[in-house]
Amino acid sequence: SQTIHQWPATLVQPVGSPLSLECTVEGTSNPNLYWYRQAAGRGLQLLFYSVGIGQISSEVPQNLSASRPQDRQFILSSKKLLLSDSGFYLCAWKEGISGNTIYFGEGSWLTVV
């Protein structure tokens, strides 16, 4: 069966510091991968999605970037964090071609201080 792992689960970082959140999916090949952000415990905003290695689509301009160095690895990064980057970040995946359901990881809490 497929599983998704996301880490770290909790992160407290000072303003101006770098960020790296990692996500890996097991048990599938060529998945679509996604990064969402949830602010204030409610709305979900799609940040990035990827349909293959090195292929990244950005949904909103921001201080963050994403990379997909391997088929089942998705990384969310920032060179210099802002206070407004605080939030709950969720990685998700879907079967690349045949699937229609997106499955989420457990999320990473980021607090920028």
Partner 1 sequence: AQSVAQPEDQVNVAEGNPLTVKCTYSVSGNPYLFWYVQYPNRGLQFLLKYITGDNLVKGSYGFEAEFNKSQTSFHLKKPSALVSDSALYFCAVHGGYNKLIFGAGTRLAVHP
| Residue ranges in contact with partner 1 by CB under 8 A | 6, 32, 34, 41-44, 46, 49, 51, 59, 90, 92, 94, 100-107, 109
CB of 89 to partner 1, least distance (A): 10
What is the amino acid identity at position 69? Answer: P
Of 15 and 39, nearer to partner 1 (C-beta) is 39
Q: Which residues contact 99 (CB under 8 A, 6 or more apart)?
A: 32
Of 15 and 53, nearer to partner 1 (C-beta) is 53
CA distance 48 to 108: 16
Terminal Cα-to-Cα distance of the chain (whole angstroms) = 38
Q: Which residues contact 42 (CB under 8 A, 6 or more apart)?
A: none
CB of 20 to partner 1, least distance (A): 19
Of 29 and 42, nearer to partner 1 (C-beta) is 42
CB of 32 to partner 1, least distance (A): 5
